[in-house]
Structure 1
Amino acid sequence: MAERPAEGLDNGPTAPQLRLDELLEGLQAQITQVRATRDRVHTLLDAVLSIGSDLDLDVVLRRITESAVALVDAQYGALGVLGDERRIRQFITVGMDEDTVRRIGHYPEGHGILGLLIKEPEPLRLADLGRHAASVGFPEGHPPMTTFLGAPVRVRDQVFGNLYLTDKRGGAQFDDEDEAVLRTLAAAAGVAIDNARLYDETRRRERWLAASSELTRSLLSGTDPAQVLRQVAATVRTLSDADLVTLAVPFDGGEELVIEAADGEGAERVQGLVLPATTLATKVYHSNQRISSSALSQEPQAGGGSAAQIDLGPGFLLPLGGGEHVRGVLQVANLPGGAEFSEAAMTMVDGFADQAALALEIAEHRREAEQLLVLSDRDRIARDLHDLAIQRLFASGLTLNSVIGRVSDRPEVAERVQRVVDDLDDTIKTVRGTIYALRERDRDDGHGGLRSKLLAETDQAAETLGFTPALRMTGLLDTDVPAEHAEHVLAVLRETLSNTARHAHASAVEVTAETDGTRLGLRVADNGSGIDPAVNRRSGLDNLRRRATDLGGSLTITPNQPTGTVVEWTVPFPARATN
Structure 2
Amino acid sequence: MGEPPGAERPGSVPPLRMDALLSELQEHVERVRGGRDRMQTLLDAVMAIGSDLELEDLLRRIVRSAVVLVDASYGALGVLGEEGTIRQFITVGMDEETIAKIGNYPEGHGILGLLIREPAPLILEDLGGHQESVGFPPGHPPMRTFLGTPVQVRGKVFGNLYLTDKRGGLLFDADDQVVLQSLAAAAGVAIDNARLYDDSRHRERRLSASADMTRALLSGAPPEEILRSLADTVRQMTGTDLVTLALPVGEGPDLTVEAAAGEAADRVLGLALSASTLAAKVFTTGEPITSEALSDDPRGSGGSASVVGLGPAFFVPVGDRDRVRGVLQVANVPGGPSFSDATIDMVSTFADQAALALKLAEHRREAEQLTLLGDRDRIARDLHDQVIQRLFADGLTLQAVLGRVRGEPTATERIQRVVDDLDDTIKIIRATIFALQHRDRQEQAGGLRARLLTVTDESAEALGFSPALRMTGLLDTEVPAAHAGHLLAVLREALSNTARHAQATTVEVTAEASDRTLRLTVADNGRGIDPADTRRSGLANLRSRAEELGGTFDITRRHRSGTLLEWTVPLPTDGEAAEEGG
Q: Which amino acid aligns with 2:247?
A: V
Q: 2:62 aligns with which of 44, 61, 64?
A: 64
Deviation at 1:357, TM superposition (A): 1.0
Deviation at 1:282, TM superposition (A): 3.1
Q: 2:218 aligns with which of 213, 220, 232?
A: 220
For 1:521 and 1:476, how far apart are their aligned partners in 2?
12
Deviation at 1:548, TM superposition (A): 3.9
Three-state SS of the structure 2 residue aligned to 1:563 is coil
Distance 1:54 1:294, change over 3 A: closer
Q: Which amino acid aligns with 2:281?
A: K
Q: 1:126 aligns with which of 124, 127, 130?
A: 124
For 2:94 and 2:573, how far apart are their aligned partners in 1?
67
Equivalence map 1:148-187=2 (5 Å): 148-187=146-185
Distance 1:355 1:534, change over 3 A: closer
Contact 1:211 1:235 in 2 (8 A): yes
For 1:287 and 1:202, how far apart are their aligned partners in 2?
30
Q: 1:476 aligns with which of 474, 477, 493?
A: 474
For 1:548 and 1:424, how far apart are their aligned partners in 2?
33
Q: 1:210 aligns with which of 197, 208, 211?
A: 208
Contact 1:220 1:363 in 2 (8 A): no
Counterpart check, 1:250 vs 2:264: no
Contact 1:219 1:360 in 2 (8 A): no
For 1:365 and 1:51, how far apart are their aligned partners in 2?
51
**Structure 1 partner of 2:578:** none
**Structure 2 partner of 1:117:** 115
Q: Which amino acid aligns with 1:145?
A: M
Alignment RMSD, CA only? 4.5
For 1:466 and 1:26, how far apart are their aligned partners in 2?
80
Distance 1:37 1:238, change over 3 A: same
**Structure 1, residues 335-380: CA drift from partner, whole Å, max 9, x if none?**
4444444443333222222211112112322443455455556666
Contact 1:216 1:356 in 2 (8 A): no
For 1:573 and 1:346, how far apart are their aligned partners in 2?
44
For 1:98 and 1:467, how far apart are their aligned partners in 2?
37
Q: 1:74 aligns with which of 68, 72, 90?
A: 72
For 1:422 and 1:139, how far apart are their aligned partners in 2?
87
TM-score in terms of structure 1 length: 0.82
Three-state SS of the structure 1 residue aligned to 2:52 is coil
Q: Which amino acid aligns with 1:555?
A: F
**Structure 2 partner of 1:412:** none
**Structure 2 partner of 1:414:** none
Q: Which shifted more, 461-470 or 140-149?
A: 461-470
Deviation at 1:388, TM superposition (A): 8.5
**Structure 1 partner of 2:408:** none
**Structure 1, residues 42-78: CA drift from partner, whole Å, max 9, x if none?**
2221111111111011221122112222222223222
**Structure 2 partner of 1:273:** 271
Contact 1:247 1:261 in 2 (8 A): yes
**Structure 2 partner of 1:415:** none
Deviation at 1:155, TM superposition (A): 0.8
Q: Which shifted more, 463-472 or 198-207?
A: 463-472
Three-state SS of the structure 1 residue aligned to 2:324 is coil
Three-state SS of the structure 2 residue aligned to 1:7 is coil
Q: 2:529 aligns with which of 528, 531, 536?
A: 531
Three-state SS of the structure 1 residue aligned to 2:270 is coil
**Structure 2 partner of 1:493:** 491
For 1:572 and 1:390, how far apart are their aligned partners in 2?
30
For 2:116 and 2:83, how far apart are their aligned partners in 1?
11
Distance 1:147 1:397, change over 3 A: closer
Contact 1:302 1:308 in 2 (8 A): no
Q: Which shifted more, 92-101 or 180-189?
A: 92-101
**Structure 1, residues 275-320: CA drift from partner, whole Å, max 9, x if none?**
3344443333233333334444455563443344445444333322
Three-state SS of the structure 1 residue aligned to 2:35 is helix
Q: Which shifted more, 86-95 or 31-40?
A: 31-40
**Structure 1 partner of 2:411:** none
Q: 2:41 aligns with which of 19, 43, 48?
A: 43
Three-state SS of the structure 1 residue aligned to 2:89 is strand
Deviation at 1:132, TM superposition (A): 3.0
Distance 1:197 1:514, change over 3 A: same
Three-state SS of the structure 1 residue aligned to 2:152 is strand
For 1:343 and 1:547, how far apart are their aligned partners in 2?
54
Q: Which amino acid aligns with 1:257?
A: L
Contact 2:144 2:165 in 1 (8 A): yes
Q: Which amino acid aligns with 1:476?
A: L
Alignment length (residue pairs) = 573
Distance 1:190 1:464, change over 3 A: closer
Distance 1:479 1:177, change over 3 A: same
Distance 1:29 1:559, change over 3 A: same
Q: Which amino acid aligns with 2:233?
A: T
For 2:479 and 2:395, how far apart are their aligned partners in 1?
40
For 2:38 and 2:498, how far apart are their aligned partners in 1?
75
**Gaps in structure 2 of 5+ consecutive residues:** 402-415, 576-582
**Structure 1, residues 534-573: CA drift from partner, whole Å, max 9, x if none?**
9562444344344445655433222236433211122344
Contact 2:534 2:540 in 1 (8 A): no
Structure showing greater radius of gyration is 1
Deviation at 1:475, TM superposition (A): 1.0
**Structure 1 partner of 2:189:** 191
For 1:459 and 1:217, how far apart are their aligned partners in 2?
40
Deviation at 1:158, TM superposition (A): 0.9
Three-state SS of the structure 2 residue aligned to 1:327 is strand
**Structure 1 partner of 2:448:** 450
Deviation at 1:142, TM superposition (A): 2.9
Q: 2:511 aligns with which of 513, 521, 542?
A: 513
Deviation at 1:107, TM superposition (A): 2.5
Q: Which amino acid aligns with 2:269?
A: Q
Three-state SS of the structure 2 residue aligned to 1:174 is coil
Contact 2:457 2:466 in 1 (8 A): yes
Q: Which amino acid aligns with 1:215?
A: M
Deviation at 1:383, TM superposition (A): 6.7
Distance 1:183 1:521, change over 3 A: same
**Structure 1 partner of 2:87:** 89
Contact 1:112 1:135 in 2 (8 A): yes
**Structure 2 partner of 1:323:** 321
Three-state SS of the structure 2 residue aligned to 1:122 is coil
Deviation at 1:468, TM superposition (A): 5.0
**Structure 1, residues 109-145: CA drift from partner, whole Å, max 9, x if none?**
2223222222222222233333333333333333333
**Structure 2 partner of 1:413:** none
Q: Which shifted more, 531-540 or 563-572?
A: 531-540
Distance 1:57 1:428, change over 3 A: same
Q: Which amino acid aligns with 2:103?
A: G
For 1:382 and 1:126, how far apart are their aligned partners in 2?
87
**Structure 1, residues 409-445: CA drift from partner, whole Å, max 9, x if none?**
xxxxxxxxx9999999999999988877665566664
Three-state SS of the structure 1 residue aligned to 2:366 is helix
For 1:549 and 1:376, how far apart are their aligned partners in 2?
37
Distance 1:423 1:536, change over 3 A: closer
Q: Which amino acid aligns with 2:230?
A: V
For 2:108 and 2:263, how far apart are their aligned partners in 1?
30
Contact 1:68 1:77 in 2 (8 A): yes
TM-score in terms of structure 2 length: 0.81
Equivalence map 1:383-398=2 (5 Å): none
For 2:266 and 2:432, how far apart are their aligned partners in 1?
41
For 1:212 and 1:310, how far apart are their aligned partners in 2?
29
**Structure 2 partner of 1:345:** 343
Contact 1:312 1:333 in 2 (8 A): yes
Q: Which shifted more, 361-370 or 178-187?
A: 361-370
